Amino acid sequence: MNDLTVQELKKKLENKDDFILIDVRELYEHTDFNIGGELATLQTTLMDKIAELKNQSDKEIIVYCRSGNRSGMAKQMFVQAGFTNVRNLIGGILAWREAFPS
């Protein structure tokens, strides 16, 4: 369950790899800029998302936030719920926007 860099995630997105991408930021952050992840905020809806995905506990799940801190907590929540292939985007959206300015 190694975390991944923004470059690795970009390749996975371009290759249309099969994984679940989850944005754990707040709605206003997601609305401002997102990379295609499904919104499941750490404070309000993430536990519901974990329960919803319980039957896919071995599928690759990638979580991200602004800097990698909240998604690090989200990763731990998934792991504690029995998920076996959860990865955190290192540096989060800050690193993404630095690597791939629009």
φ, ψ for residue 89 (rounded to 5)? Answer: -75, 115
Burial of 35 (C-beta count, 10 Å sphere; 0-12/13-18/19+): middle
Determine the average pLDDT of the residues in 28-54: 96
For the whole model, what pTM was predicted? Answer: 0.96
According to DSSP, residue 45 is labeled T
Is the pLDDT at 102 greater than 90? The verdict is no
Quick one: what percent of the chain has pLDDT higher than 70?
A: 99
What domains are there in the chain, each with its CATH number?
6-99 (3.40.250.10)
Dist. CA 8–CA 30, nearest whole Å: 21
Dist. CA 66–CA 83, nearest whole Å: 23
